[in-house]
Structure 1
Amino acid sequence: MTPRIHTLFFTSLLVLFAGCSKAPLQLKPPSNSSADWRAMGFDAGRTSAVEETLALPLVEIAKFKFSSAVSQNVVISRGLMFVPTLDGRLYMVDLEKHEIVRKKKLPQGNAGTLAATPNSIMIALRFGKNTLYHYDIVTNKQLWGIDAGDIASEPLISDSVVFITALYQHVDAYHLKDGQRRWQFKTTGQLHASPVLSEGILVVAASDGKIYGLRAETGKKIWETDLQQPILATPAVHRQRVFVGTARNQLVALNLLNGAVIWRTANEGRVFHSPAVNDSLVVFGCADGRLRALVPESGRLKWESRALSVIGTAPLLAGDKVFFGALDRHLYALRAHDGDLMWRQELRGRVRTNPILWNNQLIVACEDRDLYIFGQSSNGGQMSENFRN
């Protein structure tokens, strides 16, 4: 199968997201929304785990070249993929047609972080007069924009509320409809990690090692736990357990309801990316180039695998496989049961954008401005030797 390649030079495929035409573009989104990836980590718990899987090997079925490298996360709503780039642009890609249908230059040229609803997209910015915007997907209208502080993490939308963690020590909840603030909570450390929500408890991790459990409805603190190690990675929550990696060498599991430490493990490498977790595994990458899988209940090591370089993404648990990217320019697929290498594909640049899965399509981007879509095929793909230690 020959992949379709799309570049910025195919201007017939590009319609400005805003500002080019006097009337907003009317766009009817594709109908398939069963597997949309509307938030970093797929769900409000940031588990990065789906039941869907792919038969290997995979082949490239589409490729896009953007104006700059793609940010760490992309989101999908109603079959439309929103792609932020590091030079401050936002692209909309129709995943059914594999076409770029809109682009937008963000304010002050800042790279944005995203969250989506079935009908709208939330854009958060690190700098600017306004740093949180809400757009209607179909009509292309800005619904509101506010100054929510400097945001270096992904927003989280739940029902009619959007939660943000601002870099300079505050957590906010805003009404999705009009951007009015519902509550604010102050922390003692900077906030690089995104907020996580489960069972009405908003979990927030700060750079000074403190983790907070807040009542999502009111912002009232339920618990606070000090891990005494810096935290930069977003936690994941599954079955009343909070899993978080530290920027030194630990992965820690806490009780969602009271913040008590259930177990902690020491690793040889620091943890800068979120873990992926399901009923049987919690998988995380370390700066030493190793991907580790633990038993969620006990923290016992189940398997360990090694890439050819530093791991550059959060892992994706997709059925019986684990996907991740590394700075060695490779995309990897491991068998979830034992960590054995099943497939490896070299890309043009270092892989720092978290892989996601939509409608039997594996989506990932690399630093050389390229975004790839891989699909299933009976032929093609590169099989490699087992690299497990």
Structure 2
Amino acid sequence: MGIRLSSVILIAASVGLLSNCSGIRLRQPLRSTEYDWRLFGGSETRTNAAPQFLEPPLKLVWSYDASAGFGPSALSAKDSVLFIATLQGELQVISIKDGERLGWVSLGSAIASAPVVDGTTVIVATADEKNNVISYDFSSARKYWKRTAGPVESAPLSVGRLIIIATLNGTLLALDRDTGEERWSIQVSQPIRSSPASDGERVFFGCDDGAVRGVNAITGNLLWTARTGAAVFANPIVIDSLVIVGSLDSTVYAFHVQSGEIAWKYRTSGMVYAPAAGFEHRAVVGTAHGDLLCLDTRTGRLLWSALGGDAGGVINAAPLIVGNIVYVGTLDKQLYALELSDGALRWQTELPGRMKTSPAVFGKRLFIPVENRIVLCYRSTSGEE
């Protein structure tokens, strides 16, 4: 695998700034590795894909009880540490190696999305109306800065030195990563539940008004607006110079990143709530009907379909591509592993709860959050870790 699960140590410590709760203090800095999953979707493009191989069948290594539920996304990973955000307002930190809790901090209100892990800080957005975007410095166990953005359900995005936040008040704003100062904001008429994505120059997001928008990442200037037929809850992914996103009108759309012009669209059998996963000219999309579809990103052509009907339950969380395998969980408590090339089923296991939260991966470990407050860690039964 090329990486060792190092013995990074965190300690829980009392911090006067955070009354009646514990803190997270890092004794050693977290190393940057090629396997880091430091924000929802794995990168600013939100493609939910990693190049390493994680061959099924998998075996359960550990399970962790977070004592609270999870939002649409909850997990980020860096070095040997897994960060877990809960709807109870806690940010929990556990060891990737054995699932032992290393520390936690209460941040007040529900956290519905995965944090951004950046250097020695972790940036979290909560459902509070005020002071709800928080930069927590885990080298000193203190809140570094906090800003008011409005209630947030989507995941924060890191683009260069900016943190992009989308709110249920219909605001998209950019904050300075180091100070929390606002750099720009734009306002739309309806809530934004879609987590923004970026190609490094532009930021893209869906909205309850059925539109997908592209804005300049540096200035916040609106570049284009494209329309779908219904609300867009899923976040877009950026792949092959396209913005690909599903809508509640049961259609997957691909828009050109520069112009917003439609490249193609594909009608599915059910509404699309979950983000797609994208890798090597393929976009994998799950639907509320339980179908898992693989589309050619260049043409929109259907390459294969799997699950669906009596064979699969509602897909409410993003698929995850790890090398040549697609992992996807369903609301009927099943976790599947399929070949990316042709959709052939390679492995299946029953989960202890419904899967409504998107998974994450670090190296050769797969993390699955399920509805009954549990995070499961799987690894391959063959090969070195």
- Normalised to the residue count of structure 2, the TM-score between the two structures is 0.90
In structure 2, do the counterparts of structure 1 residues 104 and 84 end up closer, same or farther at CA, with 3 Å as the change threshold? same
Q: What is the Cα deviation at residue 230 of structure 1?
A: 1.4
Question: Aligned pair 1:60/2:57, yes or no?
Answer: no
Q: Which residue of 2 aligns with 1:266?
A: 267
Deviations 1:354-388 (A, max 9, x none): 12211210111111121111112149xxxxxxxxx
Contact 2:72 2:113 in 1 (8 A): no
Q: What is the Cα deviation at residue 210 of structure 1?
A: 1.3
Partner Cα distance (2:322, 2:181) in 1: 37
Q: Which residue of 2 aligns with 1:339?
A: 343
Write the mapping of 1:79-90 to structure 2, written as runs, cut at 5 A. Answer: 79-90=80-91
Write the mapping of 1:82-121 to structure 2, written as runs, cut at 5 A. Answer: 82-108=83-109, 111=112, 113-121=114-122
Q: What is the Cα deviation at residue 182 of structure 1?
A: 0.5
Q: What is the Cα deviation at residue 226 of structure 1?
A: 1.8
In structure 2, do the counterparts of structure 1 residues 315 and 17 end up closer, same or farther at CA, with 3 Å as the change threshold? farther
Partner Cα distance (1:34, 1:90) in 2: 24
Return the letter of the residue paired with 1:42. G
Partner Cα distance (2:118, 2:238) in 1: 21
Contact 2:337 2:348 in 1 (8 A): yes
Q: Which residue of 1 aligns with 2:154?
A: 153
Q: What is the Cα deviation at residue 172 of structure 1?
A: 0.3
Partner Cα distance (2:281, 2:341) in 1: 9
Q: Which residue of 1 aligns with 2:41?
A: 41
Partner Cα distance (2:162, 2:146) in 1: 15
Q: What is the Cα deviation at residue 189 of structure 1?
A: 2.6
In structure 2, do the counterparts of structure 1 residues 169 and 224 end up closer, same or farther at CA, with 3 Å as the change threshold? same
Contact 1:134 1:145 in 2 (8 A): yes
Q: What is the Cα deviation at residue 353 of structure 1?
A: 2.0
In structure 2, do the counterparts of structure 1 residues 24 and 101 end up closer, same or farther at CA, with 3 Å as the change threshold? closer
Question: Aligned pair 1:15/2:12, yes or no?
Answer: yes
Return the letter of the residue paired with 2:209. D
Write the mapping of 1:69-88 to structure 2, written as runs, cut at 5 A. Answer: 69-73=69-73, 74-88=75-89
Deviations 1:315-347 (A, max 9, x none): 011111000110111111001111111111111
Return the letter of the residue paired with 1:168. N
Deviations 1:59-91 (A, max 9, x none): 111111121223332111232211112222221
Contact 1:131 1:146 in 2 (8 A): yes
Aligned mate of 1:373, from 374, 377, 384 = 377
Q: How many residues end up aligned between the 2 structures?
A: 367
Deviations 1:26-69 (A, max 9, x none): 43245463211011111101111111121221111111112122
In structure 2, do the counterparts of structure 1 residues 108 and 40 end up closer, same or farther at CA, with 3 Å as the change threshold? closer
Contact 1:209 1:231 in 2 (8 A): yes
SS in 2 for 1:107: coil
In structure 2, do the counterparts of structure 1 residues 17 and 64 end up closer, same or farther at CA, with 3 Å as the change threshold? farther
Contact 1:189 1:210 in 2 (8 A): no
Partner Cα distance (1:118, 1:152) in 2: 24
Aligned mate of 1:330, from 331, 334, 339 = 334
Partner Cα distance (1:82, 1:325) in 2: 20
Q: Which residue of 2 aligns with 1:141?
A: 142
Partner Cα distance (1:275, 1:17) in 2: 41
Contact 1:113 1:154 in 2 (8 A): yes
SS in 2 for 1:142: strand
Structure 1 alignment gaps of length 5 or more: 1-12, 380-389
Contact 2:339 2:345 in 1 (8 A): yes
Q: What is the Cα deviation at residue 14 of structure 1?
A: 8.0
Write the mapping of 1:275-314 to structure 2, written as runs, cut at 5 A. Answer: 275-306=276-307, 307-314=311-318
Q: What is the Cα deviation at residue 167 of structure 1?
A: 1.2
Partner Cα distance (2:374, 2:316) in 1: 16
Q: What is the Cα deviation at residue 264 of structure 1?
A: 0.7
Contact 1:32 1:79 in 2 (8 A): no
Partner Cα distance (1:23, 1:229) in 2: 42
Q: What is the Cα deviation at residue 204 of structure 1?
A: 1.8
In structure 2, do the counterparts of structure 1 residues 17 and 213 end up closer, same or farther at CA, with 3 Å as the change threshold? farther
Q: Which residue of 1 aligns with 2:365?
A: 361
Contact 2:12 2:24 in 1 (8 A): no
Write the mapping of 1:124-273 to structure 2, written as runs, cut at 5 A. Answer: 124-273=125-274
Moved over 6 A (4+): 21-24
| Stretch of structure 1 that moved more, 187-196 or 260-269 | 187-196
Partner Cα distance (1:367, 1:46) in 2: 22
| Stretch of structure 1 that moved more, 252-261 or 17-26 | 17-26
Structure 2 alignment gaps of length 5 or more: 1-9
Give the share of equivalent positions with the same residue, in percent.
27
Partner Cα distance (1:323, 1:29) in 2: 31
Deviations 1:118-160 (A, max 9, x none): 3211110122421100011322221101111111100001221
In structure 2, do the counterparts of structure 1 residues 43 and 24 end up closer, same or farther at CA, with 3 Å as the change threshold? closer
